[in-house]
Structure 1
């Protein structure tokens, strides 16, 4: 969690600059990160609809890989812009990238053709990129940041029911339904304003958290195979063969990581999922009080203090990761005793 307080005056200046860019560009493409989650998709589509609702004359596109669970139940299929489109529009469109800390993680990345690039994010700004960075890592979600931008100009521009639904999904997704430490008073006030547009939270939650028998079988697998260390680390491993046997996608490997989050004595939860296509293992890390972002950065990753991700070249590297996390746990204990 960032110790830097949110600065409304600074944010408002950046918001005015963002609005100016949106007004001045006729063609806008909105990007988000690979392996999209609720926040990436919710922020992207919320901003798409906000622009379309208030500036209907503009040409707005949304791109990125799909998601086999969230699309089309929650979000529309992403657009596919061919190379010819980018060549024809070279230096003629504004690129807005949401919820994406690094250039490497941009899905369907063709931002080199953009005339200007704006980064909007809530991850630590380890890799600034583009012409404008609107980054506040103390916020619980990128959707909260963009919803705040919309709220600042609410006296002139509307937030439609559809845009509000997308922003709400993004906020709920990254704050764990307002359970996590980075849920603030501002978060709840924004959520209340989104609710006041008339969105149906019963419908939203039922679609967000709809499960399947495959997911249930996967949970059984996790509970039967997880490991735990004396230091308080709980982890499970999902190989490519496991994914095939269970009928789940690689994206779903981290689905049950929070199962262990509130278990007494557990400090850190880990899911380790084989990415057969890329020949590595994707790791998701969650913690309630031990800062894990620094450890993730040692293993080709990063993220927030208490929710991060990284990669392992082989499963043989897992003990090294666990050892580094155990050191982080010990350091946290030492801080607590001082």
Structure 2
């Protein structure tokens, strides 16, 4: 079935002269790797096509690439492809609805079904893995190139935590092996993704110093606006600190709760075992079984999420 969808997507790429690629707001390496990697594939094979990647640029991921500026008129007869975005409210740049044909490519649980073609593979480690697999499967019709390989590699190591997370499979490693045959430096990409600014380093120290862990191994840190301002940071700078609690012995699941300037908290939720995405859904979010996001209106809702995590851990330990 997936190879059939590869063929359908390729047929649409052939059909359209203008292709506009979107991904989710507040992008991570996989969002950018899948989006920009797909652009690199298409532009290399079809230089006559107009191919754009749109959305907000991210300063600390600028080594992945930058976004294009696109006029509204470009959407009139365009193929629009959305990568790495489970639900429509999270798509960056709402003009995606103005295209003529819409394709969704994603690896998150398919709870918001959209797109004229929808390729969702929840067994894949990342959206970058899916699109790399598409290129490998299509072979000479949409051949891999060094820039696309670099971007897909960055997306995969970002979403697998350098191959530490359970989503890493033997297929992931086979695809990575093929990507590393191309002329880019995997170690350089890893180093760039592992290098943080001084403010992120200081924020990391704050997280480690202020983490609260209960007897069940449920941990949390609340990053208030005051704490963020102390380091000259904002919500977009918090992604690198999310894995830190998982490096501490005894922590089973955790939340980083980031106060928003507009009120409420963004909840970055992670787990080493208990499935947490149902908790995320109950609090206006969703995601993967072990990595999800949600929203909390106030401290009371944060406390409720922590209580729900406690219950999950108790059931999981049994």
SS of the residue 2:244 aligns to? helix
Structure 1's consecutive aligned runs of 4 or more residues displaced over 6 angstroms after TM superposition are none
1:34 maps onto 2:25 in alignment: yes
1:282 maps onto 2:266 in alignment: yes
Partner of 2:181: 196
User: CA contact under 8 A between 1:290 and 1:328: conserved in structure 2?
Assistant: yes
Q: How far off its partner does 1:160 sit?
A: 1.0
Partner of 2:67: 78
Partner of 1:295: 279
Distance 1:254 1:316, change over 3 A: farther
Partner of 1:234: 219
For 2:75 and 2:173, the matched residues in 1 are separated by 41
Distance 1:201 1:90, change over 3 A: closer
Partner of 2:210: 225
Q: How far off its partner does 1:322 sit?
A: 0.6
User: CA contact under 8 A between 2:208 and 2:245: conserved in structure 1?
Assistant: no
For 1:21 and 1:297, the matched residues in 2 are separated by 33
SS of the residue 1:29 aligns to? strand
What is the aligned counterpart of 2:38 among 34, 47, 50? 47
SS of the residue 2:108 aligns to? coil
Q: How far off its partner does 1:330 sit?
A: 1.9
What is the aligned counterpart of 1:24 among 7, 11, 15? 15
Partner of 1:14: 5
What is the aligned counterpart of 2:169 among 184, 191, 196? 184
For 1:327 and 1:202, the matched residues in 2 are separated by 41
SS of the residue 2:119 aligns to? strand
User: CA contact under 8 A between 1:268 and 1:290: conserved in structure 2?
Assistant: yes
Distance 1:289 1:80, change over 3 A: same
More displaced 10-residue stretch of structure 1: 316-325 or 100-109? 316-325
Structure 1: segments with no counterpart, 5+ residues: 1-9
1:59 maps onto 2:75 in alignment: no
Q: How far off its partner does 1:230 sit?
A: 1.7
For 2:29 and 2:239, the matched residues in 1 are separated by 14
What is the RMSD of the two structures over their aligned residues, measured on CA atoms? 1.3
SS of the residue 1:70 aligns to? helix
Structure 2: segments with no counterpart, 5+ residues: none
User: CA contact under 8 A between 1:254 and 1:272: conserved in structure 2?
Assistant: no
Q: How far off its partner does 1:247 sit?
A: 1.6
For 2:217 and 2:257, the matched residues in 1 are separated by 17
For 2:121 and 2:16, the matched residues in 1 are separated by 24
SS of the residue 1:282 aligns to? strand
Partner of 1:333: 317
User: CA contact under 8 A between 1:253 and 1:272: conserved in structure 2?
Assistant: no
For 1:13 and 1:47, the matched residues in 2 are separated by 18
More displaced 10-residue stretch of structure 1: 150-159 or 61-70? 150-159
SS of the residue 1:78 aligns to? coil
For 1:77 and 1:103, the matched residues in 2 are separated by 22
Q: How far off its partner does 1:185 sit?
A: 0.9
Matches within 5 A, 1:165-176: 165-176=150-161
Count of matched residue pairs = 318
For 2:56 and 2:197, the matched residues in 1 are separated by 22
Higher helix share: 2
User: CA contact under 8 A between 1:254 and 1:271: conserved in structure 2?
Assistant: no
Matches within 5 A, 1:101-120: 101-120=86-105
